[in-house]
Structure 1
Amino acid sequence: MTAQTTPATAVAGERESRHAPLILTLYGLYARGEHNWLSVASLIGLMADLGVESRAVRSSVSRMKRREVLRGERREGVAGYSLAGSTLETLAEGDVRIFRRTRASRGDGWVLVVFSVPESEREKRHALRTALTRLGFGTAASGVWIAPGHLADEARRTLERRELSAYVDIFTGDHVAFGDLREKVRSWWDLDELTAMYADFLRRYGPVLDAVTRRGPQPLEAFGTYVPMLTQWRRMPYRDPGLPLELLPPDWNGVAAGELFDRLHTVLSAPAAAHAAGVFHSGRAAT
């Protein structure tokens, strides 16, 4: 905590950091279908339905604008926000990760990213590590990151888009020797952390699926469940690169978590979208 940061402002910042992922989920789900724009009133109305007050929404949006995730834009005299171009590209790639997950096989081989960054450009080293972590890469050695081979193209596009390609070389190939590859995978990725993330998702949303399948959820209820659920879920396909099942523990819970997400998406997405559309076209979105 800095000298200028009080406990109250620190707590407020933590709350805002929790709200920003919800806002990004809303834009990913609904703004793109509305010509990449939501009015301020629509956004505040939808976030209110998620239990977030308008002041917190405005503060989170201000931070997202400073980070060039959102940009202010008036349409027909109405204030609103749209997604920046780079954010649109990231969300488009995220759609594949989230809704069309790919499970690698041993035959896919591996992609290696090798990088070297001068000490004078440490911020680039941090940006590289962050980008590769979000792509699901594991760490094979210092400056050597590894992922299943099917992620090679996505890694190339991401590093080019973030202007980091000058620092890296990308290779693809097979593991020829030595050692037990299952043990190496466990050392390259934090499987215990992933297992805990999936376990939390299963524990939180398994009972929800039982409840919503016994009765058809109303639009507001579906919206209030679906958006936070998707917000929690969408981190996991990035941390988990879809490793071959034969290299994972036999009781790997990522499969069950993925099946739970798919079923919740099937049940909740349409009524949640109906609620969002009602907000867009109601008086709540007109100011």
Structure 2
Amino acid sequence: MSEEAVVLDDFDARPGSTASLLRTVVGLYVRPLGGWISAAVLVRLAGDLGIPADRARTAIARLKQRGLLLAERADAAGYRLNPAALPMLERGDRRIFDIRTMSEDEPWCLVSYSIPESRRGLRHRLRRGLQWLGAGAVSPALWILPGHLEDEVEELLRDVGVREEAVLFRSDAPSVAGSLADAVRTWWDLDALRGEHERFQAAVVELPSAATDRDAFVAYVRLIDAWRTLPYLDPGLPPSLLPADWPGERSFAVFAELSVALGARARGHVAAVGGRSRRSRMVIDPRRPPDRRRMSTPRRFPAAVYRHGEEPDPRFTLANERTLLAWIRTSLGLIAGGVALEVLGLDLHPQQLRLIASLVLIAAGIATPLLAWLGWIRSERAMRLAALPGSLLAPVVAIAVTVAGILVLVAALL
């Protein structure tokens, strides 16, 4: 299938189905991997989601038929994103992650069109597209939606090929016979929209726990898959036009919280799985200029750090190195303190306590550089995956110094 042969649609697959889950994986992760993913990695990620390999391959073949993926062999069999799919994916990013609610003083956008019966196929596609933009139907040929969606309406009209047949208007406040809230209930099916919110909230309750990065990946993909159609259907109308018990605000809050909690760990899992493919790490989207932050060289030491994720801000890397050097200075101080206890020959009794305190400080001083190095590796890798880890070094050193201090104090008192 050629790159321009189809108009791609993001709403065909039912959320939770194999096709929908794989479409979500492709939309989330193939671009960060450089626009190409090996077939083995894609099947492996599908397996993490509980999709058998044979069913995954069938679903991938259907994604190729739909034009989302194009087969391309590099160092292994794989797929690259169809460049024609990028506008759809970028539009999806805006709707899914950049959630907007219409303010009370924001203008409305009205869409009027006249398409003859001989082109009813285009008319059907336009109406369907307006529904997926969250527009309400004032009449069969007049639709209304928040003003901040005007650019997406323009894009839809161009994609369908009916820009010349449509006129867009901006209105501060439509004048209706009754209240605007009553009119909204006739323009939008709020009961159906409420049902979509309740479906999403029920799906969130069923998400698996995120004990590991793999579990976080499964939970995050299922979260996005359950959520991805809702921001299209719900235009984010002002609260004054919605019922008092409207569930939209809770859905938005739950999604935002879980997205932050799971997203970075899910990316870490995909980077660990996809990083095993050299092509997945290094290919750059051909429609974009090369990004220096993604062009890390495999010869940098240690490879266990630099083969993961994206290049972080250099200032963070240098700060991490300064932290490493600070711990090394701490280790020198610990060793010096341990040696000083013995060399100065302090009159402490029993002498064994002084010796033990000295050995504790020296041992802590020896262990600190090693632990600092391991901490540097963990932090550097984590910055490349956008999820900083905790540190065990500080409590270890604190405990060692505390124990040595107690021993010296006891010896001094005795």
Class of the TM-score when normalised by the shorter of the 2 chains: 0.7 to 0.9
Aligned to 2:372: none
* Distance (Å, rounded) in 2 between the aligned partners of 1:218 and 1:155: 41
Aligned to 2:22: 23
Note if contact 2:200-2:227 (Cα within 8 Å) is conserved in structure 1. Answer: yes
- Tell me if 1:276 matches 2:274: no
Write out per-residue CA displacement over residues 208-237 of structure 1, whole angstroms, 9 at most, x where no aligned residue: 5xx85xxx6311111111101111101000
Q: Report the TM-score, using the length of structure 2 for normalisation.
A: 0.60
- Tell me if 1:46 matches 2:65: no
Write out per-residue CA displacement over residues 83-122 of structure 1, whole angstroms, 9 at most, x where no aligned residue: 2223211111211211111110232121111122222222
- Shift in CA distance, 16/98, structure 1 to aligned 2, threshold 3 Å: closer
Quote the offset at 1:52 in angstroms.
Answer: 0.9
Aligned length: 267
Quote the offset at 1:207 in angstroms.
Answer: 6.7
Quote the offset at 1:264 in angstroms.
Answer: 0.7
Note if contact 1:16-1:56 (Cα within 8 Å) is conserved in structure 2. Answer: no
- Matched letter for residue 274 of structure 2: F
* Distance (Å, rounded) in 2 between the aligned partners of 1:126 and 1:149: 23
- Tell me if 1:246 matches 2:245: no
If each structure's strand is expressed as a fraction of its own residues, which one has the higher value? Answer: 1
Aligned to 1:99: 97
Q: Secondary structure at the match of 1:146?
A: strand
Q: Secondary structure at the match of 1:88?
A: helix
Question: Which residues in structure 2 correspond to 1:216-255 (within 5 Å)?
Answer: 217-255=211-249
Aligned to 1:84: 82
Superposed CA RMSD in Å reads 2.4
* Distance (Å, rounded) in 2 between the aligned partners of 1:70 and 1:164: 27
* Distance (Å, rounded) in 1 between the aligned partners of 2:238 and 2:87: 27
Segments of structure 1 that go 5 or more residues without pairing to the other structure are 1-13
Note if contact 2:38-2:79 (Cα within 8 Å) is conserved in structure 1. Answer: yes
Q: Where has structure 1 moved over 6 Å in runs of 4 or more?
A: 14-17
Note if contact 1:105-1:244 (Cα within 8 Å) is conserved in structure 2. Answer: yes
* Distance (Å, rounded) in 2 between the aligned partners of 1:48 and 1:180: 52
Q: Secondary structure at the match of 2:31?
A: helix
Percent identity of paired positions between Structure 1 and Structure 2? 38
Segments of structure 2 that go 5 or more residues without pairing to the other structure are 1-12, 281-414
Q: Secondary structure at the match of 1:82?
A: strand
- The structure whose RCO (Cα within 8 Å, separation 6+) is larger is 1
- Matched letter for residue 165 of structure 1: R
Q: Secondary structure at the match of 1:169?
A: strand
- Matched letter for residue 274 of structure 1: G
* Distance (Å, rounded) in 2 between the aligned partners of 1:127 and 1:69: 19
Aligned to 2:9: none
Aligned to 2:187: 188
Quote the offset at 1:189 in angstroms.
Answer: 0.8
Aligned to 2:258: 264
Quote the offset at 1:17 in angstroms.
Answer: 9.2
Q: Report the TM-score, using the length of structure 1 for normalisation.
A: 0.86
Quote the offset at 1:59 in angstroms.
Answer: 1.9
